[in-house]
Amino acid sequence: MSSTAQQLDHYHERGYVILRDVLDPAETDALRAALQPYLDLGVQGRNNFEGERTQRVYSLVGRGSVFERTAEHPAVLEIVDALLRPGYLLTASQAICIYPGETPQPVHYDDPFYTLPRPRPAVSVSTIWALDDFTSASGGTEVIDGSHAWNDDQIATTTMADSDVPVETLAAQLTPVEMRAGSLVLFAGTLLHRGGANRSSAPRRAFSHQYCEPWARQQENFTVSVPRERAKSMSPRLRQLLGYSIHPPFMGQIAGRHPEKALADDYVNSLVADDDAIAARRG
Ligand SMILES: O=C(O)CCC(=O)C(=O)O
């Protein structure tokens, strides 16, 4: 069996798979260095979910070519190719730096806003890339093995704030993802998980790219958040992932045209062009 087939088997059975040592130390260092100036801006999480001792850097894919390469990394895309329909999109892209003293994040799954009854196929696939070693003490992601297959009742009793599932029972079901920096965990949008408590003395740096079905609304509106000039310099595949693409026959069109046209140097917005033509005819 190929390693991709084994990874897919693990994913289907358990809801997640760890891809170890995808990046070499020099690549990991370059990512840390590119991330640091954004962390230095000092923006903190705004609530318990984002994490009050956690920093998040949103729209990471638009913040430098090192991040672009990870969003279209072949080790990830060859798995996602087998899980989502052709034309799938990037739905979220953010760095997550969990500082010492941070408490565990609420247990959740990543694609709940696609309100289709569970159990169901995942509408999105998440990745979390470690930029520091993930251990059970460092704030590494924790997953509930097999929960991607749970139904709505099982999910509700586990995740509702007034759930009568004792905290210890929930904790016993969580498995820490332990992996070295440069590795990643790829998991179903239906898998229960959380960012762990950071009981170490060092920050836990990581970043997450998430992908969704081509018919699903993206969490981040990348065609607006990523500056147009940066999008123009990206690879065709990455532009497609951001949303400069059509899900046939016409989801994603702009005034009846392919959205890639908006990146042409001589592009004029169709509405502006039409209004200019009307004004010209009126003299
Ligand atoms: O940082 C982590 O390990 C998990 C973060 C997460 O699941 C989220 O913010 O949705």
Q: Mind listing the domains of the chain with CATH numbers?
A: 3-220 (2.60.120.620)
Ligand 1 atom having least distance to the Cα of 206: 1
pLDDT at 170: 78
Q: 2 or 113: whose pLDDT is higher? A: 113
- For helices 3-14 and 74-83, give the axis angle rounded to 10 degrees: 60
Instruction: Using the mean position of ligand 1's atoms as its centre, give its distance from the Cα of residue 38 in Å.
Output: 18
**What are the residues whose beta carbons fall under 8 Å from the beta carbon of 271, sequence distance 6 or more?**
255
Predicted confidence (pLDDT) per residue in 178-206, tens digit:
999 999 999 999 999 999 999 999 999 99
Contact between 195 and 139 (Cβ < 8 Å): yes
Predicted confidence (pLDDT) per residue in 37-87, tens digit:
999 999 999 999 999 999 999 999 999 999 999 999 999 999 999 999 999
Q: Is the bond into 249 cis (omega within 30 degrees of 0)?
A: yes
Phi, psi for 192 (deg, rounded to 5): -70, 140
First to last CA, the chain: 70
Take residue 198 and report the two structure tokens written for it: 């950071």
Mutate to test the pocket of ligand 1, among 113, 141, 200 (most ligand atoms within 8 A of CB): 141
pLDDT at 162: 65
Distance, CA of 215 to CA of 158 (rounded, Å):
29
Mutate to test the pocket of ligand 1, among 127, 194, 210 (most ligand atoms within 8 A of CB): 194
Mean pLDDT of the chain: 96
The closest residue, in CA terms, to atom 2 on ligand 1 is 195
Predicted confidence (pLDDT) per residue in 213-258, tens digit:
999 999 999 999 999 999 999 999 999 999 999 999 999 999 999 9
The dihedral region occupied by 216, where left means phi > 0, alpha psi between -120 and 50, and beta the remainder, is beta
Residue 165 has pLDDT above 90, yes or no: no
* Confidence band of 161 (pLDDT split at 50, 70, 90): low
Residue 160 has pLDDT above 80, yes or no: no
Alpha helix stretches (DSSP H) within the chain: 3-14, 25-40, 65-71, 74-83, 152-159, 167-173, 222-225, 228-232, 236-242, 270-282
Q: How many CB atoms lie within 10 A of CB 183?
A: 20
Residue 164 has pLDDT above 90, yes or no: no
Distance, CA of 62 to CA of 93 (rounded, Å):
9
Ligand 1 site residues, Cβ closer than 6 angstroms? 96, 105, 110, 128, 141, 193, 195, 206
User: Nearest CA to 176 among 165, 167, 185?
Assistant: 185
Contact between 68 and 235 (Cβ < 8 Å): yes
Mutate to test the pocket of ligand 1, among 193, 198, 204, 209 (most ligand atoms within 8 A of CB): 193
Distance, CA of 187 to CA of 17 (rounded, Å):
6
Instruction: Using the mean position of ligand 1's atoms as its centre, give its distance from the Cα of residue 195 in Å.
Output: 5
The closest residue, in CA terms, to atom 7 on ligand 1 is 194
DSSP class of residue 89? E
Instruction: Using the mean position of ligand 1's atoms as its centre, give its distance from the Cα of residue 92 in Å.
Output: 12
Contact between 91 and 211 (Cβ < 8 Å): yes
The closest residue, in CA terms, to atom 5 on ligand 1 is 195
- The predicted model gives 151-168 an average pLDDT of 78
Instruction: Using the mean position of ligand 1's atoms as its centre, give its distance from the Cα of residue 127 in Å.
Output: 10
Instruction: Using the mean position of ligand 1's atoms as its centre, give its distance from the Cα of residue 141 in Å.
Output: 7
Residue type (1 letter), 140: G
